[in-house]
């Protein structure tokens, strides 16, 4: 039971909403780890006599795990996330945070209550319908952040002080005119190049692996062709619909709800839009990003193509090459600030700059999807059921609480099923990536397939399938991974072998062509012999997306060329492609010739690099004058 209580405590912590925690980390910066700690000895580190206890460090690690989980959108399982966490680096950040606090105290720096109030008013965690709600604040601080209101204010105001001291160091940095000219000369260089590309995919159709090769690869790489570990689970579900008996709603209420639904459907119809993102991060302030985006906006107002500027300047790599196209999207797809602006635009309208947690955006609305009006007759029963379930919510929540208690108290499902009048359902062949029905959600499966259930034989805790249904499950049996029959993976292996052989042939031809070119310098003949064409680019920029990035990067490694000189290089392309690169010109950048947006970008880069340098110097000075004991090994 003690072990179960310990694991329960951990899973309760894990229930904290990942997005909310990630938001707190973003808002409170490098002090967020400290924010969740209650300091008491003994310490895992000591900073000028101040103990950072193990409890604070463990909270910081948990927050780091949740931040990583949120960053990768659940792409990795918790075991993989655990391997990404660098405990030593987390503790070092906590030490630096404490050094800042101590220095701020020496300087007599304080944080006003007004600043504290402004911060909590702006935090979405404490808002209802976009407005600060005192009840939400009072309940969610202890519920989600595990803090008393007094301690929360104290720690948040400490973070404000740290942030202020950090900004003092950052904003007093400067650069010289000479440094600006040098940055333009070096950072805005261009290259004249030509290259031959030997694309691996062009060889694939000629390749047919022998059966012996398939069998050999299957045997040598059998670990890649194992089935997933499978589980048979029994489970019980309850839903809001179970608690609607005896409840009623009137036809007039249903009609009113339908009319409101139709109004919202029209207002919230999906929007097709484009955007340009200029990031705000450790290399660029919000003010600098705003200046860049305003310059881009003016170019669009003056007639420039939104799509072309998005492809050139947007730092959202997922869609910049498509002109910033976001396709059709409804509400809930984007962060609130972006969504509010998007849904306020008229078709064809260009937004003002929008600041979000990702940076500064420009948005252009291109189309609003037409919404077909629904029929009240068709929707009547569905709306009625939804309204009844909403009324039943308090009874449903109490049922979930009772289900949690019974599932925790009993080692089998029969007493639980009997108490709730439910059938025990069973589903076989559930894996961490596959499930059906109530087990379709990855998050639900991850919360069920935990050591408590798999190793200790406990019932799971009650898990929300969605807002109207909950599940509790237990393990019936588990099947270890098995080697898949070769018949099931033969096509897959053939594809791998084709790609590998295509890569070898591309490299072979590139190497032979490269040798021939060095010997003869007959560029046209080499291209003809290997059925490829020279691609020529004059004045290639470092950020040019039209040239394979390995080719572009190699071109900029050539720093100087004499008059009439050229460099011939064999380089890799993207994926398995190979290339021959010829660099014929190296051109310095000139400040006066650069467009305004490039000049602003150079200024921003210089400001950021000097700010970071000065902050690092300040932290190094604090460390050199401090008594620090870090009890954690660097490789932890």
Cα 566 versus chain centre, distance: 43
What CATH number is associated with residue 350?
Answer: 3.10.50.40
Write out pLDDT tens, residues 553-579: 999 999 888 888 999 999 998 889 999
Query: Among residues 479, 509, 526, which one ends one of the domains?
Result: 479
Q: Do both 580 and 493 map to the same domain?
A: yes
Tokens standing for residue 215: 């069998």
Question: Is residue 553 in a domain?
Answer: yes
- Is a pLDDT exceeding 80 seen at residue 8? no
Same domain, 418 and 450: yes
> Long-range contacts made by residues 451-456, C-beta under 8 angstroms, separation at least 24?
451/7, 452/4, 452/7, 452/11, 454/231, 454/478, 456/3, 456/4, 456/7
**Token digits for 17?**
């909403």
pLDDT tens digit sequence for 154-198: 888 888 988 888 888 777 888 899 999 998 998 899 999 999 999
Is the separation of the CB atoms in 7 and 25 below 8 Å?
A: no
35 and 149 in a single domain? The answer is: yes
Strand order in the sheet with 463-466: 425-430, 230-239, 469-479, 463-466
Secondary structure (DSSP) of 175-186: --HHHHHHHHHH
Domain boundary among 416, 449, 479: 479
Q: Which residue, chain included where needed, has tokens 């062709």? A: 225
pLDDT tens digits along 364-384: 999 998 877 778 888 899 999
The answer to whether residue 323 sits within a structural domain is yes
In whole angstroms, give the CA distance from residue 292 to residue 277: 10
Which of 454, 479, 504 lies at the terminal end of a domain, its last residue?
Answer: 479
Judgement on whether residues 214 and 157 belong to the same structural domain of the protein = no
Q: Are the C-beta atoms of 76 and 124 separated by less than 8 Å?
A: no
pLDDT at 532 over 60: yes
The answer to the question of residue 386 being in a domain is: no
567: containing domain = 190-222+487-587
* β-pairing verdict for 359-368 and 354-356: antiparallel
Task: Return the pLDDT at 632.
Answer: 81
For residue 24, what pLDDT is reported?
36
Instruction: Name the domain count of the chain.
Output: 4
- Cβ within 8 Å of residue 526, ≥6 positions away: 196, 513, 516, 517, 520, 580
Sequence-separated (6 or more) residues with CB below 8 Å from residue 448: 233, 439, 460, 463, 471, 473
Distance CA 621, CA 287 (A): 28
pLDDT in tens, 595-624: 888 888 889 888 888 888 888 888 899 999
Q: Which residues of 571-582 are buried (b: 16+ CB within 10 A; e: fewer)?
A: bbbeebbbbbbb
- Average pLDDT in the 323-351 region? 90
Please tell me whether residues 583 and 553 are part of one structural domain: yes
Question: Are 527 and 441 in a shared domain?
Answer: no
Query: Is 130 a member of any domain?
Result: yes
Same domain, 148 and 69: yes
Do 411 and 532 fall into the same domain? no
262 lies in some domain = no
| pTM as predicted | 0.52
Q: Are residues 459 and 557 in the same domain?
A: no
Query: Would you state the pLDDT for residue 551?
Result: 95
């Amino acid at each position: 039971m003690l072990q179960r209580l310990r694991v329960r405590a951990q899973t309760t912590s894990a229930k904290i909403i990942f997005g909310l925690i990630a938001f707190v980390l973003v808002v409170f910066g490098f002090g967020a780890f400290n924010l969740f700690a209650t300091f008491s000895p003994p310490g895992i580190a000591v900073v000028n006599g101040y103990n950072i206890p193990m409890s604070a460090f463990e909270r910081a690690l948990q927050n780091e795990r949740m931040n990583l989980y949120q960053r990768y959108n659940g792409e990795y399982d918790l075991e993989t996330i655990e391997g990404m966490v660098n405990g030593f680096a987390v503790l070092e950040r906590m030490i630096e945070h404490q050094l800042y606090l101590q220095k701020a105290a020496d300087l007599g720096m304080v944080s006003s209550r007004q600043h504290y109030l402004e911060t909590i008013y702006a935090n979405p965690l404490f808002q209802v319908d976009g407005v600060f709600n005192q009840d939400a604040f009072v309940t969610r601080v202890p519920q989600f952040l595990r803090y008393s209101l007094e301690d929360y204010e104290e720690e948040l105001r400490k973070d404000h002080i740290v942030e202020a001291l950090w900004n003092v160091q950052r904003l007093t940095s400067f650069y010289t005119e000479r440094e600006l000219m040098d940055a333009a000369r070096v950072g805005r260089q261009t290259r004249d190049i030509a290259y031959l590309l030997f694309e691996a995919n062009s060889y694939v159709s000629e390749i047919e692996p022998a059966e012996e090769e398939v069998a050999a690869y299957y045997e040598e790489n059998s670990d890649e062709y194992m089935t997933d570990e499978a589980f048979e689970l029994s489970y019980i579900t309850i839903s809001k619909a179970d608690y609607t008996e005896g409840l009623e709603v009137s036809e007039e209420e249903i009609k009113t709800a339908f009319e409101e639904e139709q109004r919202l459907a029209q207002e919230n119809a999906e929007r097709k839009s484009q955007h340009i993102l200029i990031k705000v991060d450790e290399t660029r302030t919000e003010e600098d990003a705003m200046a860049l985006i305003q310059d881009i906006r003016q170019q669009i107002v003056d007639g420039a193509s939104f799509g072309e500027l998005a492809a050139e300047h947007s730092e959202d790599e997922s869609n910049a090459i498509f002109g910033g196209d976001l396709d059709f999207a409804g509400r809930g797809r984007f962060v609130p600030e972006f969504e509010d602006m998007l849904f306020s635009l008229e078709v064809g309208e260009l937004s003002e700059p929008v600041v979000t947690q990702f940076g500064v955006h420009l948005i252009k609305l291109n189309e609003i999807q037409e919404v077909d009006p629904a029929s009240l007759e068709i929707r009547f029963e569905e709306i009625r059921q939804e309204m009844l379930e909403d009324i039943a919510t308090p009874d449903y929540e109490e049922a979930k609480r009772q289900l949690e208690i019974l599932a925790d108290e009993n080692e089998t499902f029969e007493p639980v099923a009997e108490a709730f009048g439910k059938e025990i359902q069973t589903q076989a062949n559930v894996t961490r990536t596959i499930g059906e029905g109530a087990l379709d959600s990855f998050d639900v499966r991850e919360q069920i397939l935990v050591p408590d259930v798999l190793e200790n034989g406990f019932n799971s805790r009650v898990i929300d399938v969605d807002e109207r249904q909950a599940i509790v499950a237990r393990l019936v049996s588990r099947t270890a991974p098995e080697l898949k029959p070769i018949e099931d993976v033969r096509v897959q292996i053939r594809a791998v072998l084709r790609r590998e052989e295509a890569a070898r042939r591309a490299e072979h031809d590139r190497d032979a062509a490269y040798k021939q070119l060095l010997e003869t310098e007959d560029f046209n003949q080499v291209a003809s012999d290997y059925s490829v064409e020279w691609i020529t680019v004059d004045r290639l920029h470092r950020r040019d997306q039209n040239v394979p990035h390995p080719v572009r990067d190699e071109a900029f490694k050539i720093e100087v060329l004499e008059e009439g000189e050229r460099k011939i290089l064999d380089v890799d392309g993207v994926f398995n492609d190979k290339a021959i690169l010829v660099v014929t010109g190296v051109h310095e950048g000139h400040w006066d010739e650069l467009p305004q947006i490039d000049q602003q970008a150079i200024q921003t880069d210089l400001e950021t690099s000097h700010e970071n340098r000065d902050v690092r110097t300040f932290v190094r000075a604090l460390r050199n004058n401090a008594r620090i004991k870090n009890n954690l090994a660097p490789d932890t």
